[in-house]
Structure 1
Amino acid sequence: MIAYDFSGRRAVVTGGSRGLGRGVAERLRDAGAAVTVWDLEPMPLAGIASHAVDVTRADQIAAAVAEAAAGGGIDILVTAAGYAGSRRPVEAVAEAEWRTVLDVTLTGVFQVCRQVVPLMRQAGRGRIVTVAALAAKEGKAGLAAYAAATAGIVAFTKSLGRELAETDIRVNCVTPAAIDTEFLRVLPDAAVAAMAARSPMKRLGTVAEFAESVAWLCSDACSYTTGAVFDVSGGQATA
């Protein structure tokens, strides 16, 4: 583990109460950042502030951003909030569910970035890391809405990275494959084993491995990289 020092940095992690978002929030906290989680259902986490924020609600985001601005701003933003929806073929997906998946997973990233970027511009620096999924590149049978939403995150990240390239704000994306979280462990053992078998490493990724990749993207060491997409997939995706 690399010893990053985020002392004096203020970080916001959306969807940071559980799973990958929680792992990132705790990694940044352990490296000295003052971390705040924005989550629809925030959970108490040691040494981490939390606020109930629905990323589909511009008014709730605005209130959280105003509070952050009063506290000194936002140096690091990690957008980990998402909703995959239920697994079913396209012809069985209700329009309402399709819209919900896109609203939370894709439009939520836009809504949060749209309101946080001005703070970073004012400060003259910042780091933004968006969390998509390997489904953005490969598609996902039964989860077409989620695959489409995460593909949108990839394109959005590349676009925002280009817009901010002449500033000291770096914008990058991570696309994880199967990571061993509490969400995965509700699946049957056979399904989890099949996911591990698809990886060339023949195992699941760990939350710590994922969070370590994100930590670098949040650091000053990530200085000449923006608008890029990083797989955390054990070699499952190489393009």
Structure 2
Amino acid sequence: MNEPFWANRFQDRVVLVTGAAGGLGSAAVERLRKEGATVIATDLHAPVLTSTAYGEVTSLGLDVTNPEQWKDLVGTALERHGRLDGMLMCHGAQGPEADVEDVAYQDWQRTLRINLDSCFLGLHAVIPTMKNQAHGRIAILSSISGREGNASMTAYSTSKAGVIALVKAVAKETAAQGVCINAIAPSMFQTPLLEHLSPERNAQLLSRVPAGRIGEPSEFAALAAWLLSDECSYTTGQVLDLSGGRYAGS
């Protein structure tokens, strides 16, 4: 799907992206670069980025569950660029696909550590800089399962619901300082994560999407780019639906 983009929308802006090697993260990195951003692209291992036609990019390894690595990353960003305008958190783990009584406690803990604790660590690391700048834009990947819950995905659903609560709480702390923080709640998207679910499970989840199709990463990137832009100046603490109509709640 070929989406339009706005050249120079992110000129002189520095944006950090986690999970940049994944399907959604890599699409967002390319969109931000096309629109002129200086991108710091991170993943557990430094992502391999093939296109060099657009804005500046730095590729770094980051364990999102490690607070010291977060501290070092922000320090590196400020040392190289002098500012940090945006952060898009696209990392995550699917977690166990089993009924709650069959979920091992260590798998529960690991899923929450990767999906939820890491977002706290990221906010803890970048918010002081953005408050000091009196400007910042943050978007965090949640999930439709964080709003509705998915059976046999208790750890994942709980972690993504926690992301929503975290976003709403911190957005209220930072709104007066010009920092906007929002969550994105996708349903099914064409990413490698679908490969970790059984064909039957994929078919079941797709049957709940009124649009009748799987979302494209470019559609995620378009919404993320707006949330990270200066145009998003009076929207904060929100969960933006990206589910093909699956979620119809308030």
Partner residue, 1:67? 76
Displacement after TM superposition at 1:18 (Å) = 1.2
Letter in 1 for 2:139: V
Alignment of 1:75-224 (within 5 A): 75-185=85-195, 187=197, 191-224=201-234
Of 3, 7, 19, the residue aligned with 2:6 is: 3
Letter in 1 for 2:17: V
**Gap runs ≥5 in structure 2:** none
Q: Check conservation: 1:85, 1:143, Cα contact below 8 A.
A: yes
SS in 2 for 1:91: helix
**Following the alignment from structure 1 to structure 2, what is the Cα–Cα distance between the partners of residues 196 and 56?**
31
Displacement after TM superposition at 1:238 (Å) = 1.9
Letter in 1 for 2:59: S
Q: Check conservation: 1:165, 1:226, Cα contact below 8 A.
A: yes
Cα offsets for 1:143-167 (capped at 9, x unmatched): 1011000000000000111001112
Letter in 2 for 1:130: I
Q: Check conservation: 1:159, 1:227, Cα contact below 8 A.
A: yes
Partner residue, 1:56? 65
* Alignment RMSD: 1.5
TM-score w.r.t. length of structure 2: 0.91
Q: Check conservation: 2:47, 2:60, Cα contact below 8 A.
A: no
- State yes or no: 1:25 paired with 2:14: no
Q: Check conservation: 1:157, 1:171, Cα contact below 8 A.
A: yes
Displacement after TM superposition at 1:168 (Å) = 1.2
Distance change (3 Å), C-alpha of 1:161 and 1:211: same
Distance change (3 Å), C-alpha of 1:194 and 1:154: same
TM-score w.r.t. length of structure 1: 0.95
Letter in 1 for 2:146: A
Q: Check conservation: 2:5, 2:31, Cα contact below 8 A.
A: no
**Gap runs ≥5 in structure 1:** none
Letter in 2 for 1:36: I
SS in 2 for 1:55: coil
**Following the alignment from structure 1 to structure 2, what is the Cα–Cα distance between the partners of residues 196 and 89?**
20
SS in 2 for 1:164: helix
Q: Check conservation: 2:31, 2:225, Cα contact below 8 A.
A: yes
Displacement after TM superposition at 1:186 (Å) = 5.9
**Following the alignment from structure 2 to structure 1, what is the Cα–Cα distance between the partners of residues 143 and 110?**
17
Displacement after TM superposition at 1:85 (Å) = 1.2
SS in 2 for 1:171: strand
Cα offsets for 1:7-44 (capped at 9, x unmatched): 11111111111111111111111111011112112221
Partner residue, 1:42? 46
**Following the alignment from structure 2 to structure 1, what is the Cα–Cα distance between the partners of residues 167 and 6?**
27
Distance change (3 Å), C-alpha of 1:91 and 1:157: same
